[in-house]
Amino acid sequence: MASMKKELKLRFKAGPQEQATYYWGGGTPSILPNIEMASLAQIALENAPLKIGGEFTLEVNPDDVTHQSLKDWKNIGVNRLSIGVQSFMNDKLEWMNRTHNSDQAHSAIKRSQDAGFDNISIDLIYGIPDSSLDEWQNNVGIAIETGVVHLSTYALTVEEKTKLFYQIKKGESHSPKDERAEEDFRWYRRHINKLGWDPYEISNSCLPGNRSIHNSMYWSGESYFGIGPGAHSYDGKHMRRWNISNNGKYRRALGMDDSWFEEELLEPKDLINEKIMTRLRTKEGLDFRDLGKWAKEVEKSWKPHVDSKRLFKNEIGIWKLLDPGLFWADRIASDGFIT
């Protein structure tokens, strides 16, 4: 924590720089003692002040949500919660090695709403092995009934060196199947549209007017600062930067030399590929004019997806994914990359 405070002062030593959003997550910041969180917030506000009306999101685990923690989070300025529910099914939570159960998930949401947090997002995982479409439909129905205004939905992925990775390797658990995940995904998109929600990005949907400002800035290519081990930053133009992820090396090198971070100058092709990857995922799509001199090359690469009705370019030149292509967005985007 002391190192993160030190980094904040180093990054903004030229003077305070106002920020549109704070997003505290990646890990489990909700386990931090309030005194530590308040101290970090104070340093952040001094060096990178949050603009009036700015969005301050905190990622939290359901079992960390108490009446006192909610009060403490409000006191430091948090105005949006992202609650890692993942599922309302106890057997699936146990299978994913989550530390909370369904009752705690419900309680966390209700307590947050009672404490005055009206901007709440919850995460849900679909495509879980040995699950069914009925189970996913039940999960989504429960989530909607809680009254939250935002849902982040992700297909289950298996990361190397995790418990699930080794269970699958030993044959103790089944691998996720694309067919199962696609069935959940396509039903969800149809359902959320029928409910009048705004599916503004492939993994994110909300009641109208409740888009995540932070995430939307990321997908539109705006600048952001990442603080802490492994955190990434982008200047909004052509420079990407990331801190080393090793905690000890990060602490020891911070401020002594430049070995605690790396930088990459993005080439024009890199920037185009970045736009293809991020903007094709959004409801607004990708403007062909953003592709510059590579527009025709990209269009040629995407012809198979156009022919298969996964992708189209509308009358004003905006590339958008059709329903059959949404689940395969990353693959379709990579097919259009400039090499």
pLDDT recorded at residue 26? 79
pLDDT recorded at residue 130? 86
Residue 17 clears pLDDT 80, i.e. is over it: yes
pLDDT recorded at residue 204? 98
How far apart, in whole angstroms, are the C-alpha atoms of residue 193 and residue 25? 28
**Beta bridge partner(s), residue 287:** 318
Report whether 273 contacts 338 (CB < 8 A): yes
CA distances from 323 to 116, 190, 300 (A): 37, 9, 21
Tell me the residue ranges of DSSP E strands in the chain.
Answer: 19-24, 50-60, 80-86, 120-126, 150-155, 198-201, 204-206, 232-234, 239-243, 261-265, 286-287, 311-313, 318-321
- The chain-wide mean pLDDT, for the chain, equals 93
Task: Tell how far CA 274 is from the center of its chain.
Answer: 16
Label residue 143 exposed, middle or buried (CB < 10 Å: 0-12, 13-18, 19+).
Answer: buried
Arithmetic mean of pLDDT, 266-284: 96
> pLDDT for 77-125, tens place per residue?
999 999 999 999 999 999 888 999 999 999 999 999 999 999 999 999 9
Higher local confidence (pLDDT), 162 or 197: 197
pLDDT recorded at residue 255? 83
Residue 322 clears pLDDT 70, i.e. is over it: yes
Domain architecture of the chain: domains with CATH: 2-219 (3.30.750.200), 232-265 (no CATH), 282-335 (no CATH)
Higher local confidence (pLDDT), 202 or 175: 202
Work out whether strand 120-126 and strand 150-155 pair parallel, antiparallel, or are unpaired: parallel
Report whether 176 contacts 157 (CB < 8 A): yes
pLDDT recorded at residue 52? 94
pLDDT recorded at residue 65? 97
> pLDDT for 125-147, tens place per residue?
999 988 999 999 999 999 999 99
